[in-house]
Structure 1
Amino acid sequence: MDLSKRPGSRANGQRLTRRRVPLSCVACRVRKLKCNREKPCQNCIVRGESNAASCTYAEKVERKNPAKSNPRSDAEDMRKRLNRLESSILSMISTGEKPSNLKTNNEMNLEEVNNTTEPLDQAGGQRISVDTRSTHWDAILHDLGAMKDAWSEENDKIELSSGSHSPANNKDHRPSLLSGLTQPPDRSTIVASIPSREATDKLVTRFFQSYNPATPAKYVIHKATFLKQYNKHWVDPSKTKIIWIGLLFAIITIAMQSYTRTDEVPPEYQGTSPALIQLYRVRTAQCLTIANLTKPVDFMIETLYLYANIEYVDERDGDMGTYLLSGTMMRLALQQGYHRDPSHFPNLSVFQGEMRRRIWSAVNQHDLLFSIQIGLPKCIRYAECDTQSPSNLHEEELYEDMKELPPSRPVSEDTEICYQVVKLQIMRAYGYVTEFLNVLESQSYEEVLKLDVKLMEAKANIPSHLQLRTLEEMANDPPYRVMERFIMQLFYNKAICLLHRSYWNCVPSEVSRNSWFYSRESCVNSSMALLDHQATMHRAAQPGGLLQTMKWYHFPITNHDFLLAAMILCLDLMSILQHDSPYVCECFISETEKFQAIQRSRSIWAEVIDDCRDARRAVSILTSVLNKLSTTKEEQTRAANTSETNDILSASATNPNVDSLRYSPYFTDQFGLGIPLIGDQPTEADFHMEGDFLETLGSDLTVPGDFNWGVWDQALGQKTVCRFWKSPSGHFQTT
């Protein structure tokens, strides 16, 4: 037989022998797992085989004839072996054959998740998607664990999902937009920026004690587990992963921000806190860069979530930074399989599974909120994920070594996570509303009513300890609990506004149009409720108030909601004043109350104009709109006086659907329409969008049936010039 044709022979007649010494331990090679090559390795420790003797490696044997080694021949032989393997895979696909010795996608992918190793730069072990529906070629190649034994020592360091690259310390950081245009500092420089142990201890304690529901950063961190990792870090900082160091920087940054936000800066940070916040914020970003955002690793999602909360605090309404971070975070979570419930993967521990539910809940809500603020669809629809809600448990019931998850406690039982569990139900209904509104095809009005019922059911399920009460009734409650109650009401009313504002003139089938104004009534009622909450929260934020340490105007999402509510009322008032449509509903809320609510909101914005980034813009918008309403009111009053007798009720006789008080001079004088409003007028240099918008519309602030609310949302969120105009067809457009 010709030796050159035998599978184990070279073309020159020499028998092919294996020369490379396996780098993985014997146990990992047998199980076809990825070994971190320590002694003992991580996998052996996880299996309880902590004795070094149980984790053994093959000894290196000197090569007998190194001079005869032919790299070109080795590479050719490798290509032949890969070709044979590819043919085998294609054959199995075509015949539907599944060898018994190959593990399922679930088993192999989960072993990759649980047994990832740390690259040389200590970025953390990479995780691939555990979604069994994955169409990526990793899902097939990771079933072929023996493939790794065919590579050289250099190639053995390469992750299958990233392809070939040079060592981490020599490669460029790409893509540049994600990794920065300059090389980040080295590890020693970053670690040197960590405060002393004593100072860091205080900041970590502050992080867990200064909980603010508007930025629920600690929700994704299990305190006991983090403190265990924290103490381990101080034993030998050189062994700590760089991404975990980024997590630590994020935590101390949020702690420092809480000092400045509540005017409680300790003496040791007086005068230096802004610079330190900036330093720690940059160090967090640099750690994320070094760990490589394109390769999701342990602690990546948690660190990125905290970093997004850091950036959010310093943003204005309409800034895109946090929205883009949210999209990146969501994509990484999808790549790691957070959108699939951990119950599908038995190799995940009980603790890991529950923390993944918490993290997915936080990331999903973050994506929803910032997508709505910008006016764009969210990244993933609920039909594309099945991760269940986190369990309502006390923190001490959740720990790393737990074997079974306790039954979730009823939401009527208050726990550290109860608010997040209840809020998730409201946010999920909120999310269904946004999915519905972003569908391009025409939808029936009955779907609007179904979503309305879903929102009301979510609100009805709020337990008594999270129900909003008067400030007097909440006088003895902690500030965070008061803020939690307000936030859920704000989200509910904002969802109602978004759902119904596009359907003001819609009616169910077989219902008289003249007798159905449900959507308009719901939208206006919720707008009034939002402005009432603004007034109450502003009163509570005064010195000595319940929310003096959690001021509502520190957060752009809340500011956006209040401004939106005021503008809906303005548009509603102008629609009634114009009364061009024959279908104008009865004034279930009087115009007097609406004007008072808008003017009260404008006065509140004026009071915080020096402390809130969005206040000056809000004052300018509301001032302009109220002036337009004043002009329209005066014109109609003059027209009524010249065409009718001195009877001020004659106008209402011709249109009984409109409140007769709107033609009363007393009503005009009472609310200051036509006279200067309080405060100085903002300069033109301060604002751009609102002047062009209102000047273009003139006094016509009616809401036509084809009004593009999506364009309106994006206009409110922009700081650049945004011009609205009506096309020849009568549709609103923007440039």
Structure 2
Amino acid sequence: MMKRKLERKAAPTPPPKSTRRQDPVSCESCRKKKLKCDRRLPCRSCTVRNLACSYGTYGPVGSPNVRENIETGNSPVSPSSMSQTLSKQAENQPRNDPLTTADWLETIVMGHRVPSAIPTTLRDGLTQNRGNPSQPGQTIVSGNLLTLIRGGVLPSLENPARIRLFSLLPSESEALSSLSYYLNHLDYQYHLIVAHRTERNILNIYENIANDQPVNLGHVALLFSIIACGLFYQLLPTESTDVAERSSGEAAFLAGSALIQANYVAYPTLEGLQATMIISHHLSFLTFNPVVSSFFIHGSLINQAQSLGLHVLDGASQVEDRKANGYDRAEVELKRRLWWDLASYDWLIGFLSGPQQWTYRIKPSHMNVWRPLNIEDEDIETSDTGQPMSNPTCMSYFHLRLRLAEVCRRIVDEIGPEHLRGADVQYEKILDLDRKLHDAHAELPSFFRYDQHSRREFSELYRKRPMLAWQRAFIQQGYHSRLCRLHRQYFVRGARDPRYSYSHVVSLQSARKVLEVKRIMDEEEPLFVPNSSFFWAVMHHVFMAAVTLLIDVCFNWDDILAEKRKEEVLEACKMLTRAQQTSSVAREGINAMMRILRKHWKQEPQFARSGEPTSPQAAFFSSDYPLPPGTQGDKDPFAAHQDVPVSTNAFDAGNPATHVPLEDLWSEMLNSSVYPGLNTPEWMDLLTELNDTTGLCD
């Protein structure tokens, strides 16, 4: 007993606990306002309120001020290396959190079944909270998006599931400004949003962030998709194509990141579908980060829409359910618009060159969806009936584009099997489909026609609503370019064979109409904003029309009107040259098509007795004659202004400083085209490859 007491007394006495002053863990702004701080740099509260986030001499807990040093120039670390460091840190973070692991396992095993098994209200709640970027341990990418990109700090280098998306959002006023630009200059092409509904969604984002409430990541994705499209077309007039594409691609990546964090594949939302469709339509020519690119593929869009039940929106049970329980008119009408936009695009591209040629995915017998109303957005929640097509609305163009798409679907049904078998299409079928296209074109309302009387009658309407004038141009080009395509197989034959002369005449008329429409786009009010040359669909139609006229001159070089036709072709070239000078998108696309044209144009040169070509012009398009400067990959070929005199020969490949206007190149082609070396099948190959070169143009 005594021994135990002695041992107890011998035990050393623990030193008293030292109490030290705890350093502040919140930023100075949050301490002053007594707000909860997430201890990041910058913190979420300061980011939302556009305040300078400072921790004084302490810095955020567990987060060194490395990024602050980079932004202020006090660190030798470059922005690009910093971005890579952040990526590695995110990858090396532990992932043994039991709740996170359980959530991943549930998603892998049951994610594809859950949406159809749980109530809609519960599913919406899961979508709002799943992947909320306010969770701790996520990578921070802060600052103005364009500034970050120019500094080499790219969000696409981060893990999309861990990016703090809120720190990359613009201010509320900037977000609304981006929405305004999209509505005024881009939305009229497809009309995939209801303005007041989307504005409310954007305002909810900032309100929920300010109140520390869960944010619907579908709304965030929709906002980033609108920013992505606006960035591209706003930057093009002042920046290089590379800067515009990179900036827009990064914003599209953030839209995809929001969808990933929301587990959009398993829990699709209407706003998420809008986001993917907007990017797919307006930025289809961009190459996206492979992590998110699958969201924007046409087949994926259809699958997303079917997961939301859009293809059976007006089935008997759905209609009865809406009558019994009530419904949101704007939401149902928006769903109809999205589905019919997917259907019309699907049918339009079926009659274009590419992997989808002569086929389509959406079968009319496999869906039950009413047509959207021809109605203004402000009346969508109060009216059950639409206006007649003779009354212009924001949906007029949508319906007329759908009508054209239905004719294209009929064309695919009628002549697709012959083309897939490699057989000639009977000329009677071509004439029957031609009548269908002309009948649909004749149904266009007066305010979408291009005759002088209609243009004068509705000039005041176009001044008040310029988007109607722009839509009128698009629908006219859409019809006439497809008439050219329908008659392509018999166009060259019709130049020599009276049995097919109708195809020759219609093709030339349609090609001239496409060029006339482009001239009006450039010269008459209201002018396109952004410039119509920024839209490759427009310039692709113009280039194909110019090639159609070029082919006609080659096969009718001895015609009494040959010189006049040459002048017509050169006028079209001047239009293309102006577009090259206006738009880098047009310049790159036209240069790509010129390379295809040169490859196919294997002119038989006129040889002198010595066996040498009589002139460089005669041999230019033979296989071994050098290309003009820039056509083999230079960044800016054919960049000179059309009226700048060229002192040297237009094809002087020995002078690298020579810049050749497009009309000079084509003039040499015309001068050496006494006997074109291509027969009818080869001309068909040329036209087909020109269509394939630059992607889809609907």
Q: TM (normalized to structure 2)?
A: 0.58
1:410: Cα distance to partner? Answer: 0.5
Whole-angstrom CA distance in 1 between matches of 2:658 and 2:512: 31
Deviations 1:462-510 (A, max 9, x none): 1112222559847652432221111011000111111111234789xxx
Give CA-to-partner distance per residue, 1:418-459, whole Å, 9 cap, x none: 221222212322343345454324554333222212211211
The 8 Å contact of residues 484 and 507 in structure 2, kept in 1 or not, is answered as yes
1:680 Cα deviation from its structure 2 partner: 9.5
Residues 277-676 of structure 1 correspond to what in structure 2 (within 5 A)? 277=248, 279-292=250-263, 294-295=265-266, 297-298=268-269, 299-312=271-284, 325-340=297-312, 342-344=314-316, 345-346=318-319, 347-348=321-322, 349=327, 350-368=329-347, 372=352, 374=354, 376-377=356-357, 379-386=360-367, 387-399=369-381, 406-439=384-417, 440-441=420-421, 442=423, 443-469=425-451, 473=456, 476=460, 477-478=462-463, 479-504=466-491, 514-540=498-524, 546-547=526-527, 549-577=529-557, 590-610=561-581, 611-615=583-587, 618=590
The answer to whether residue 234 in structure 2 is matched with residue 228 in structure 1 is: no
Listed one character per residue, the Cα deviations across residues 31-51 of structure 1 (whole Å, up to 9, x for unaligned) are xxxxxxxxxxxxxxxxxxxxx
> Of residues 174, 177, 201 in structure 2, which corresponds to 1:199?
174
C-alpha spacing 1:634/1:323, structure 2 compared with 1 (3 Å): farther
Per the TM alignment, residue 117 of structure 1 is displaced from its structure 2 partner at its CA by: 0.8
Q: CA deviation at 1:632?
A: 7.2
Cα pair 1:122 1:240 within 8 Å, conserved: yes
Name which of 212, 215, 228 aligns with 1:240.
Answer: 215
1:122 maps to: 128
- State the distance in 1 between where 2:297 and 2:510 align: 30
Secondary structure of 2:299's counterpart equals: helix
- 1:389 match: secondary structure: coil
Aligned partners of 2:493 and 2:680 also within 8 Å: no
Aligned length: 483
Cα contact 1:285–1:307 (8 A) shared by 2: no
CA distance in structure 2 between the aligned counterparts of 1:590 and 1:382, rounded to whole angstroms: 47
Distance 1:702 1:323 in 2: 43
SS at 1:411's partner residue?
coil
CA distance in 1, matches of 2:527, 2:385: 34
| Contact persistence 2:229–2:283 (CA under 8 A) | no
Please tell me whether the aligned partners of residues 493 and 529 of structure 1 are also in contact (alpha carbons under 8 angstroms). yes
- Name the aligned partner's letter for residue 557 of structure 1: A
How far residue 535 of structure 1 moved from its aligned partner, in angstroms, is: 3.0
Q: How many Å separate the matches in 1 of 2:338 and 2:606? A: 55
Alignment RMSD (CA, Å): 5.0
Equivalents in 2 of 1:428, 1:684: separation in Å? 50
Equivalent position to 2:689, from 702, 712, 728? 712
Alignment match, 1:165? none
Measured after TM superposition, the shift of residue 575 of structure 1 is 3.4
- Corresponding residue number in structure 2 for 1:664: none
Q: 1:184 aligns with which of 125, 145, 160?
A: 160
In 1, Cα distance between equivalents of 2:544 and 2:692: 11
Classify the secondary structure of the residue corresponding to 1:458: helix
Instruction: Tell me whether 603-612 or 447-456 shows the greater mean CA deviation.
Output: 603-612
Check whether the contact 2:205–2:216 (CA below 8 A) recurs between aligned residues: no
Q: Any idea what the Cα deviations from partners look like across 1:598-648, whole Å, max 9, x if unmatched?
A: 212222222332433332563686699699999779899xxxxxxxxxxxx
Deviations 1:14-67 (A, max 9, x none): xxxxxxxxxxxxxxxxxxxxxxxxxxxxxxxxxxxxxxxxxxxxxxxxxxxxxx
Deviation at 1:516, TM superposition (A): 4.3
Structure 1 residues 275 and 706, CA gap change in structure 2 (3 angstroms): closer
Offset at residue 293 of structure 1 (A):
5.3
Percent of paired sites with the same residue: 15
Cα 1:388–1:623 shift into 2, 3 Å = same
For 1:80, the equivalent position in structure 2 comes to: none
Q: Relative to structure 2, which stretch is displaced further, 346-355 or 113-122?
A: 113-122
Q: Distance in 1 between matches of 2:690 and 2:597?
A: 16
Please give the alpha-carbon distance, in whole angstroms, between the structure 2 residues aligned to 1:482 and 1:681.
46
Deviations 1:561-601 (A, max 9, x none): 112222223333333459xxxxxxxx7x9444432232122
Of residues 611-620 and 389-398 in structure 1, the stretch that sits farther from structure 2 once superposed is: 611-620
**Structure 2: which amino acid aligns with 1:200?**
A
TM (normalized to structure 1)? 0.55
Offset at residue 307 of structure 1 (A): 2.1
Partner of 1:702: 679
CA deviations 1:633-687 (Å, max 9, x no partner) are 9899xxxxxxxxxxxxxxxxxxxxxxxxxxxxxxxxxxxxxx9669999989999
Q: Secondary structure at the match of 1:240?
A: coil
Tell me the residue number matched to 1:210: 185
Residues in 2 aligned to 1:684 and 1:324: alpha-carbon distance in whole angstroms: 41
Deviations 1:356-403 (A, max 9, x none): 22001222334455562646335415445443432101223212xx6x
1:198/1:483 CA distance change after superposition, 3 Å? closer
Residues 534 and 562 in structure 1, CA contact (< 8 A), matched pair in contact too: yes
Instruction: State whether residues 530 and 562 of structure 1, in contact with CA within 8 Å, keep that contact through their aligned partners in structure 2.
Output: yes
Q: Secondary structure at the match of 1:220?
A: coil
CA 591–376 in structure 1, closer or farther in 2 if over 3 Å, else same: farther
Q: Is the 8 A contact 2:515 2:542 kept in 1?
A: yes
Q: 1:595 to 1:274 in 2, by over 3 A?
A: closer
Shift of 1:274: 8.6
Structure 1, unmatched stretches of 5+, are: 1-107, 126-168, 171-179, 266-271, 579-586, 637-674, 720-735
**Separation in 2 of the partners of 1:684 and 1:301?**
49
Moved more, 704-713 or 244-253: 704-713
Within 1, Cα distance between the matches of 2:655 and 2:512?
26
Q: Contact 2:375–2:393 at 8 Å: present in 1 too?
A: yes
Structure 2 CA distance for aligned equivalents of residues 117 and 560 of structure 1: 44
Aligned-partner Cα distance in 2 for 1:717–1:686: 24
> What is the rounded CA distance, in whole Å, between the counterparts of 1:601 and 1:463 in structure 2?
29
Q: In the alignment, is the contact (CA less than 8 A) between 2:374 and 2:386 conserved in 1?
A: yes
SS of the counterpart of 1:429?
helix
